[in-house]
Amino acid sequence: MYIVKKKAVNIADIQSNSQSFGGRIRTTRISANLTIRELAFLAGLSPEAISMIENGANCPSLPTLRKLSECLSKPIWYLGCFEDMPEDTLGDRVKKARYYHGYFIEEAAKHLRVDPRSLTNWEKNRTTTSNKYINQVNEFISILYR
């Protein structure tokens, strides 16, 4: 068993850094009274990976954000700073909702029961959804307004 000392943290430093995904993860980890090693163990990641994410040296993947979201009991959209993504077009809203759900293209396409290429085209504003899928899409993007 290891005994890990928890060092004192300046709250002003935390608050100024909390607008990045690394800062939010760090702030949430500290608020949960977890060390980097403890969070790494809970999430099945290395302490180095957590440290690199918190310091902005590494961008977490969606699967990593899912694990951290679960371990820290915070929504994935919050940890990933996804609320700042644009919502100008339906494609923008679909992409933002996909990130809020923590889905890859294939997972979102399966959820929406559409071809992944169609979803990619929607997100890139190459095409728009047909009336056939509009109810599923509206339900899918409703996560943005909760």
- The pLDDT assigned to 11 comes to 37
What the chain holds in terms of domains, given with CATH numbers, is 11-83 (1.10.260.40), 85-145 (1.10.260.40)
d(C-alpha 126, C-alpha 138), whole Å = 19
The answer to whether residues 82 and 99 touch, using CB atoms and an 8 Å cutoff, is yes
The answer to whether residues 47 and 36 touch, using CB atoms and an 8 Å cutoff, is yes
User: Tens digit of pLDDT per residue, the chain (146 long)?
Assistant: 333 333 333 434 433 445 899 999 999 999 999 999 999 999 999 999 999 999 999 999 999 999 999 999 999 999 999 999 999 999 999 999 999 999 999 999 999 999 999 999 999 999 999 999 999 999 999 999 98
